[in-house]
Amino acid sequence: MVPRAFSFRLFRNFASLLPALFGALLLIVFWPTLSGAFGDDGAFNPRMLLPGNAKWEGVRTTAPARWAFELTRRTSAPARLRPTTVRPDDASLLAEPFTIWGGDADIPPLTTREVKGLRRFLALGGILLVDDFAPETQAFTRAAKRELARVITDRSPVTIGPENVLFRSFYYLKRPIGRIEGPSKIDAYVLGGNPQIIFSAHDLLGALARSSNDTYAVQVTPGTDPLQREKANRMAINISMYVLCSNYKDDQVHAPFLMRRRSSEPQ
């Protein structure tokens, strides 16, 4: 049996070592990511925009995190692995230059404060991805366009195709794609030649979403292309890279390389 005094002294010594042990444990756990943590403020964050009373729920809630994970896995770009949500009338909308507005049906009109918030976000150069979760009906796309027309009054959406930098910001893509194959081009509000509001009629988040058993949550349509989900991932990566690098791949210094590669591809 251990004497009482000895056991108390041992306990007291151990207690005094606790903070140091705890600190060392923290250091061991976080050491590999210390330098990575510095700079996370500028990391890509696919945060969801939730206007009105909207809640972020359903099968696609895992999609932003998956998007961030794929970005960090495939590229050098840092990303927030636990993306957040944001309200359009909240000041935190202006904290970062990217947000995703998704939905599958008609939506109530934006409030005046929400319109103002979005207007400030776009005036600072923010980029908004509008993802239609039910592109078969396009009810959400129509509603979003209707509401965004109140936000941007001096421009209208235009159609952009594979010639746009969005389709070569990381992967070389021939068309947009998501959970559904959808139209071969996308609509966008463009500012200075660069897309600022991107309308995805392809349910991009649907293709990225994972279920609790780590399988894909939603089937892709038509699914005849075995690479459809991979291409949707690449589309998401390209959007990320466009958000982080702007029109970097439009620079003339890159053009000769990319043009050579295009011409060498089989027609």
Partner 1 sequence: MNRSWALSGDLAFPFIVLACVLSAISLALLAYELFRGRRKAFAIGIAVTGALGVVALLLAVLRPVAIVSRGTTVGSRVVVLLDGSRSMDLPGDSGTRKATGLGAVAALQKHAGDVRLGMLRFGDGAPVPLALGASAGDAAAPYRPSPRSDLGAALEAIAQASDERPRALVVISDGRLDRPSGEASGAAARTALGVLDVPVHTVVVASDAPRDASVRAVRIAGAAVAHQPLAVRIEVGCTQGLSCDEVPVSVRELHDTGEPRPLAHGVAKIENGAGTIELSITLDRAGPRILQVQIQSPSGDEIPDNDTRYITTTVTRDRVRVLHVAGRPTYDVRALRMWLKSDASVDLIAFFILRTPDDDVNASQEELALIPFPVDELFSQHLSSFDAVVLQDFNARPYGLEKYLPTLARYVQGGGGLIMVGGPDAFVTGHYAGSALAEVLPVDLRLPAEESPVDLGSFVPNITEVGRAAPVLSPLRDLIGDVFPEMPGTNVVGEPRRGTTVLLEHPARKTKSGSPMPVLALGEKGSGRTIALTVDGSHKLLFSTFAAESAAGRAHGAFWDALLGWLMKDPRFEPAVLDLPGGCIADEPTTLVLRPLPGQKGEASIKIARLGNPSTPVKSLTANVPGDAAPIQIDAGSLPAGGYSISVEIGEGAEKGAPARRDFACEKGGDEWADPRPDVDRLEAISRATGGTTVKAANIDTIPLPAATEVSAERRVSAIVPPWTWTVLASILLGLHWILRRRKGLA
Q: How far is the CB of 108 from partner 1 (least distance, A)?
A: 26
H or E element at residue 28: helix 4-37
CA nearest 89: which of 104, 109, 110?
110
Cβ(234)–Cβ(171) below 8 Å: yes
Q: Which residues bind partner 1 (CB under 8 A)?
A: 34-44, 73-78, 91-92, 94-97, 120, 123-126, 168-172, 230, 233-234, 241, 243-249, 251, 253-254, 257-258, 261, 264-265
CB-wise, 150 or 250, nearer to partner 1?
250
CB-wise, 13 or 252, nearer to partner 1?
252
Q: How far is the CB of 111 from partner 1 (least distance, A)?
A: 19
Q: How far is the CB of 174 from partner 1 (least distance, A)?
A: 11
CA nearest 107: which of 170, 24, 49?
49
Separation between Cα atoms, residue 188 and residue 80, nearest integer Å: 25
CB-wise, 86 or 143, nearer to partner 1?
86
CB-wise, 24 or 91, nearer to partner 1?
91
Separation between Cα atoms, residue 186 and residue 200, nearest integer Å: 6
Which residues make beta-bridge pairs with 191? 194
CA nearest 36: which of 96, 79, 90?
79
CB-wise, 221 or 240, nearer to partner 1?
240
